[in-house]
Amino acid sequence: MSDTSTQIHNLLFRYAECIDLGDFDGVADLLADAEVGAAGGPTVTGERGLTAMFTATTRRYADGTPGTKHVTTNVILEADDEAGTATTRSYWTVLQAVPGLPLQPILAGRYHDRFVRVHGTWRFAERRYLIDLVGDLSHHLLTALPATD
């Protein structure tokens, strides 16, 4: 795997690690330079805005985590090393097990990400998510998902 591929895959997987740890500041740091939002919808940018968004929408339990595992698969990476740009498309599944909710998938969809290389380091430039499957979110979200057409 090339250095570019390794760095970008690590960004994808670090996001899952941070969100599952309840480390919303870490998530915001990863996405600080990116526009983040549902495909076709408004975006949130900047560390403060992103931390606020995750804090306002995602339930955390006594251990500080949301009791989830975000699993990212089927990563398709297209990179232009010379230009310092890349894109990925991937699938994601959120599993959750908390008191009152046995282990189960609660949400699944796709990420469409753009990356730029800044001073030799790859960074998220955009993260758009598409929700394909919705399960029991009553133990996960603090607010309802936005309505879709």
Could you tell me the residue range of the domain that residue 129 belongs to?
3-134
pLDDT of residue 143: 84
Segment 101-143, tens digit of pLDDT: 999 999 999 999 999 999 999 999 999 999 999 999 999 999 8
Residue 14: pLDDT above 70? yes
Q: Is residue 32 part of a domain?
A: yes
CATH of the domain at 120: 3.10.450.50
Whether residue 105 contacts residue 97, with contact meaning beta carbons closer than 8 Å, is answered with no
The total of structural domains in the chain comes to 1
- HEC states along the chain? CCHHHHHHHHHHHHHHHHHHHCCHHHHHHHCCCCEEEECCCCCECCHHHHHHHHHHHECCCCCCCCCEEEEEEEEEEEEECCCCEEEEEEEEEEEEEECCEEEEEEEEEEEEEEEEEECCEEEEEEEEEEEEEECCCCCCECCCCCCCC
d(CA 111, CA 123): 15
**141 found inside a domain:** no
The verdict on residue 139 lying in a domain is no
pLDDT tens digit string along 29-70? 999 999 999 999 999 999 999 999 999 999 999 999 999 999
Does 147 fall in a domain?
Answer: no
- Please give the pLDDT value at position 144: 76
Confidence of residue 2 (pLDDT cuts 50, 70, 90): confident
Whole-number pLDDT of residue 40: 93
